[in-house]
Amino acid sequence: MSKIIEVNDLITEYNGERILDGVSLSIDSGSIFAILGGSGCGKTTLLKHIIGLLYPVSGSIKIFGRETVGMEEKKFEQILEKCGMLFQEGALLNSLSVKENIAIPLRQHTDLDEDIIQRVVRTKLHLVELDYALNLYPSELSGGMKKRVAMARAIAMDPKILFCDEPSAGLDPVTTREIDNLLNKLREQLDMTIVAVTHVIDSVRRIADEIVFLHDGQILFTGSFEEATKSDIPQIKEFFQDQNI
């Protein structure tokens, strides 16, 4: 597999404190890659650097083989148009209906006619199994439904990469399993690469081809979930013990 994302020796600091300390990783095209670790370990900070919301002290980030650290903003926006983002809380606009929320990226980044936009919206809602929710508003949706609508919006532009920040946060075990199954389905049907930040072990077990384990801003482990459960690294053993693994 070709490497769709490459991070090399990434260092970032906040108020003089080192948050990421020499992080390096590579992600295969078409894989589901999980960034795992306890609270405050740097998972979300790493994701924000990859998508350009934060700027590192030093290091390299390549997406689609192109260096993005220091890249001109307009060129980076062209890369981001090939990426989707599923935020932890969904980030739906409460004043807009489901179909209007999903249409946002299509209206912002394309010149498609309105009838085509509506066809795309319906197609994406069908993919996340929410055909009936077209005219509902976020206040009328359950937590799991909001995640599905947010996912439909994230894939509206047919992204090559889907970034997910805690996709199972706040969901019950049954709904979490449904979201995990949906991520697997989208990867297969749309040939996407999925990068998920999570601390939910059951989700990692179900979806991840490869994981990295972060602790205090450093990567302690890279490999499969099964390999991680057999690791002798103390922090990883403790993490899995706390999760009853």
The tens digit of pLDDT for each residue in 57-86 reads 999 999 999 999 989 999 999 999 899 998
The structure tokens listed for 95 are: 């004043």
Describe the strand order of the beta sheet including 3-14 as a list of residue ranges: 17-28, 3-14, 58-63, 66-67
Amino acid at 228: A
The whole-angstrom separation of Cα 40 and Cα 36 is 11
The tens digit of pLDDT for each residue in 80-118 reads 989 999 887 668 889 999 999 999 999 988 888 999 999
User: Beta 58-63 vs 210-215: how paired, if at all?
Assistant: unpaired
CA 162 to chain centre: 5
User: Beta 17-28 vs 3-14: how paired, if at all?
Assistant: antiparallel
> How far is residue 104 from each of residues 25, 75, 219, measured CA to CA in Å?
32, 21, 36
The whole-angstrom separation of Cα 203 and Cα 34 is 9
Domains and CATH numbers, the chain: 1-82+160-169+192-245 (3.40.50.300), 89-158 (no CATH)
The tens digit of pLDDT for each residue in 110-166 reads 888 999 999 999 999 998 888 898 899 999 998 888 989 999 999 999 999 999 988
